[in-house]
Structures are given as structure tokens and as C-alpha cells.
Amino acid sequence: MTELLTSVREEVVQLLTRLVSIESVNPYFPGGNRGEAGMAEYVADYCRHLGLSVSLTEVLPGRPNVLAELRVPGATRTLLFDSHMDTVSLDQMGLAGLQPTERDGILTGRGSCDDKASLAAMLIALARLARKPDGLRANVLLLASADEEYLMRGAQAFATSGRTIHGAIVGEPTGLEVVVAHKGFVRWKLHTVGSSAHSSNPERGNNAIYQMAELIHRLRPVMDQQLAPKEHPLVGPATWSIGKISGGASVNIVPDRCTVEIDRRLLPGETGEQALADFDAIVARICAERPDLQVARDEPFGNVAGLDTPATADVVRALQQATGEIRGEARLRGVAYGTNASKFAAAGIECVVFGPGDIRQAHTADEYVAIDQVVDAARILEAAARAFA
Ligand SMILES: [Zn+2]
């Protein structure tokens, strides 16, 4: 191993250990208290020590985005690095999630993979660029964003702030693959409405759970058939899934309401509005055949578009070139999960998703990242910034 790699590796282990030990559970999840506040302080300090201009913008009370700017005299273009500071719950990991350990080339802990590995790689790349800015032709901004794990309100706030950005690299665990396409989603609640009665005389009521069972039974084949032809070459098929059901107050009462939550994964180019309109039309046909079903739908509680960045975009080329130099190969890929890139793309920013770690490790009880991947990510991000013009 060369001296350069040894020193980057030491920097990675030290910085990532520190980042993982700062609790930043999104307050949407059990155990989340201060959200990103502690991480934001640390990241802001780190960037100030690099001599960068740093600003904190509150996205939610006590939960800021951090923006650090490396300005290059005369540069007219700006590249954005984004990674999120929040994590999911510590739950299955317990306090061990905040006590990272390094062994056999991996580093463990909550957020070690998603998304502090990307944040560490971006900070180290930024530090190396700040120490040696010669040859850099674009400004480089780092956004450490809040609330990605719930509603992506940090990315949303930045995307709508009016900053001109010419390309963005969104850090997420892609295993160092260059991701140019991913799915979006729309999520909503659907209710069946009946009338309650004492369960000793169930015939006097209208059981909303029975209605829901009948509705789901009729919905499934029609939805599956409607989605079957929808497929994207990089991200695969459009899908739908019922992930949650609730209904009834007590075993001795005929339930008057039953609710399901539906997750419809959108292909790039599909809109949540159109997916909902198609869904409503199917439900209307079922209800026309079965007038005893009383169905109501809420407005969606999540609606995020997919991503489909052209291979010719400057940010794709720069990252592909840098990845090729350091890893030898850089194929363009699509993934099924959604990211902050949806929010930036909706604001007209060309985006790629890229970062160390395996998405299968994210949100798990034994989250970890391969340290070598974080080292390579830092080197690739640095090279990509130098290639971006
Ligand atoms: Zn993430």
C-alpha cells in the first residue's frame, strides 16, 4: 500500500469512527431526540477548520442543513456533494450502534454504511481539494442534509433555495457504482367504511375488515396486470405493495373502519398523480361491480419522483471517468430505492448517486462498511471534482 493510501485510510477510520459515535437518529424513529444537531456542529467545525465558508440553515426546529463552500476564483460552474446526516433507529443495534469497531477491514455501527461512510468520503475529498485547489475548475459545495430517512426535507429545502448547481453527487451506499436512475414512490392510505354493531349480532353491522379483504382480493390481480408491462431498462419493473393494515377496536365489536397503507414504486418519468389516477379508476370499477364496498382514499403522504439522468451529463462523465481511473471499471446502473437526488432533479439539477457500502447493510442490525471502499470513494470524489468543468 502506498503512503498516500495509508494516510487516507487512517483519516477515514478516524473520521468515520467519530461520525458514527455521534447519535443522529431521525426523530421520526424511536429513540430520535436531537436529530442531526450534533452531527451538524461537528461537520460545520470540520469544514471551518479547512478554511471553508460554512452556513447552517434550520430545516426543522433544531435540525439544520450544513452547507460548506470551496470557492474557486473565476469558476462559473458549481458541483454539489450531498450526503445525509440522519440515521434510522438504533433499535436492534442498541448502544453498540454508537460504539464503532474496526475489524477485518470493516467498520461497524449505525450509519457506518448509510450514510456516514459517504459523508466521511466527501469530507475527506473536500479537505484534499481545499489543501490543493490548483487545477480545480469548479466550485465545490458540500451539503450535509437533514431528514433524508423520513421526508427528505433537508434536500427539499436546499433544492428550492434558488442556488445554481451544475451537477450533484448524492452519497448513498451504491458499492461505488455510478447510479443514474432510480425509482420514486407514492404512498397513501386507503379505507373501507362500514358500520359497527355488537358482535353477538354481526348482521346488524357492516364489517369493514370483510370489505377490505374483498377489496384486496379484487385489487391484486388487476394492479399486477396493469403494472406488468411497465419496466425501465435500468431500474426494473414498477411495483406496488400493501405494507400495513389496521382496523377494529375490539373483538366484540363489528369494525366500521379498516385502513391499509399502499406503497407504489414509480418508474422514472411516471408521476404520483398519474399512478393515483390509475389506481382510483381500478377501485371505481371494482366498486361499480360491488356496490356494497365503501372505499375512501386519503391524499398521499409521500410523493417522490424517480431519477433518470442522461449518460451525457457533465456530472456523470466526471464521476465515470474518476471511477474508471481508480476502480478500472464504471458501468452506469439503476437501483430500486429512492434518494435525495429526486429532490435535486426536480429542481433541474443533474444528479448521480454514488458512495461506499452495500445498500443491503443499510438499516440492518449489523450495519457495517468496508473501509477500503470509503478510501476509494474519497479518492474518486476528489478526482471527479477535478474532472468536473
Ligand atoms: Zn441513506
Q: What is the pLDDT of residues 247-271, one digit of tens each?
A: 999 999 999 999 999 999 999 999 9
| Ligand 1 centroid from CA 195, angstroms | 43
pLDDT above 60: residue 118: yes
Percent of the chain with pLDDT over 70: 100
| Ligand 1 centroid from CA 218, angstroms | 36
* pLDDT level of residue 310 (50, 70, 90 thresholds): very high
> CA separation (Å) from 276 to 32, 220, 232, 271, 298?
32, 15, 19, 9, 11
Q: Locate 302 and state its grid cell.
A: 409521500
| Ligand 1 centroid from CA 358, angstroms | 11
| Ligand 1 centroid from CA 149, angstroms | 7
pLDDT above 80: residue 4: no
Mean pLDDT for 275-301 is 97
- Which residues lie closer than 8 Å to 124 by C-beta, 6 or more apart? 8, 11, 12, 15, 378
CA 153 from chain center: how many Å?
11
pLDDT at residue 5, as a whole number: 76
> CA separation (Å) from 266 to 234, 327, 333?
13, 31, 17
| Ligand 1 centroid from CA 377, angstroms | 15
- Which residues lie closer than 8 Å to 176 by C-beta, 6 or more apart? 323, 327, 354, 355, 356, 373, 376, 377, 380
| Ligand 1 centroid from CA 363, angstroms | 9
Residues 103-138 as b/e (b if ≥16 CB within 10 A, e otherwise) read: eeebbbbbbbbbbbbbbbbbbbbbbbbbeebeebeb
pLDDT at residue 329, as a whole number: 86
| Ligand 1 centroid from CA 346, angstroms | 19
Query: Parallel, antiparallel, or unpaired for β 106-108 and 307-308?
Result: unpaired
| Ligand 1 centroid from CA 114, angstroms | 5
pLDDT above 80: residue 3: no
* pLDDT level of residue 385 (50, 70, 90 thresholds): very high
pLDDT in tens, 206-217: 999 999 999 999
**Whose grid coordinates read 427528505?**
152
| Ligand 1 centroid from CA 115, angstroms | 5
pLDDT at residue 2, as a whole number: 72
Q: What are phi and psi of 337, to 5 degrees?
A: -80, 160
pLDDT above 70: residue 1: no
Mean pLDDT for 354-363 is 94
pLDDT at residue 107, as a whole number: 97
| Ligand 1 centroid from CA 345, angstroms | 17
pLDDT at residue 196, as a whole number: 96
| Ligand 1 centroid from CA 70, angstroms | 24
| Ligand 1 centroid from CA 207, angstroms | 41
| Ligand 1 centroid from CA 148, angstroms | 7
- Contact indicator for 189, 100 with CB cutoff of 8 Å: no
Mean pLDDT for 271-290 is 97
| Ligand 1 centroid from CA 277, angstroms | 30
CA 307 from chain center: how many Å?
12
pLDDT above 80: residue 313: yes
pLDDT at residue 37, as a whole number: 98
Count of alpha carbons within 13 Å of 27, Cβ hemisphere only? 11
pLDDT at residue 347, as a whole number: 95
Q: Which of 123, 110, 34, 42 is nearest to 83 (CA)?
A: 123
The partner residues of 304 in beta bridges, in order of sequence, read 185
Average pLDDT of the chain, as a whole number:
96
pLDDT in tens, 45-84: 999 999 999 999 999 999 999 999 999 999 999 999 999 9
**Cα–Cα distance for residue pair 374/12, rounded to 1 Å:** 7
Query: Parallel, antiparallel, or unpaired for β 167-170 and 78-84?
Result: parallel
| Ligand 1 centroid from CA 179, angstroms | 14
| Ligand 1 centroid from CA 275, angstroms | 25
Percent of the chain with pLDDT over 90: 93
